[in-house]
Amino acid sequence: MIVVIQCAARKQSDAGHLLRRDGRPVLFVSDPQSAPTDNAYFYSRPDDQSDNGVSWRAGLLEYNKNPENNPLGLLPAWKLYQNPTYGRIVDRIGIGNTYILSAGWGLIAGNFLTPNYDITFSPSADSYKRRRKKDRYNDLRMLPENTTEPVIFFGGKDYVPLFCSLTEHVEAQRVLFYNSENVPDAPGCTLKRFNTTTRTNWHYECANALINRQIEI
């Protein structure tokens, strides 16, 4: 089994940042131009060109080629978010079978060293943080397309289109849990309704139910 879970707004307090050459930390957002004035950070999009002549995304991929050398203190994706569910998933199925669907970076492996960022699909988020359909992102696709393991997705409806897009060539069964009244549009996925009265971040409850073997695939 492979689990893909959406990212979260709350990051760990010790989350590392990519840095400009002058040492200023970069905070990745969807719309840097409308971000608040803050001299503590340099706001940028992941695919903007860095001051090293390549995109920040390309620089991050290069940085991850030698994860043992981590001078910026970047956290692996599964450790980046505060909610303990990410760690429980890793404990249950292993780091190699855990993936994060990130609004900023795409479909990334659980052990991918990931800098602090503030990008989301949530319609309630501040405008400069919110990723919209028209925005262009060179999303990463780290899930092997030839996997034979069933791929289970835990995430809200705003993240479903990205999950479907980044896994459309995966040969294995894709299972998507939902709890909305309307069945989500998820071509090629097996849809399973998760009944709960929880509305905000219900997908954590769902993921924990799987971890605790209260639901089956």
Domains in the chain, number: 1
Q: Is residue 216 part of a domain?
A: no
* Per-residue confidence (pLDDT) for residue 39, from 0 to 100: 81
* Per-residue confidence (pLDDT) for residue 119, from 0 to 100: 97
Long-range contacts of 23-27 (CB under 8 A, 24+ apart): 25/116, 26/50, 26/56, 26/115, 27/116, 27/117, 27/118
DSSP, res 1: -
Phi, psi (deg, nearest 5) at residue 113 = -65, 120
Domain with 12, as residue range(s), is 2-211
- The pLDDT tens digits for 48-89 are 999 999 999 999 999 999 999 999 999 999 999 999 999 999
How many of the other CB atoms lie within 10 Å of CB of 165? 12
- The pLDDT tens digits for 19-41 are 999 999 999 999 999 999 888 89
pTM: 0.95
- The pLDDT tens digits for 164-208 are 999 999 999 999 999 988 899 999 999 999 988 887 899 999 999
Q: Rounding to the nearest 10 degrees, give the CA dihedral for residues 32, 124, 196, 172.
A: -30
Q: Is residue 30 part of a domain?
A: yes
> Across residues 110-129, what is the average pLDDT?
96
Q: Is residue 80 part of a domain?
A: yes
* Per-residue confidence (pLDDT) for residue 198, from 0 to 100: 82
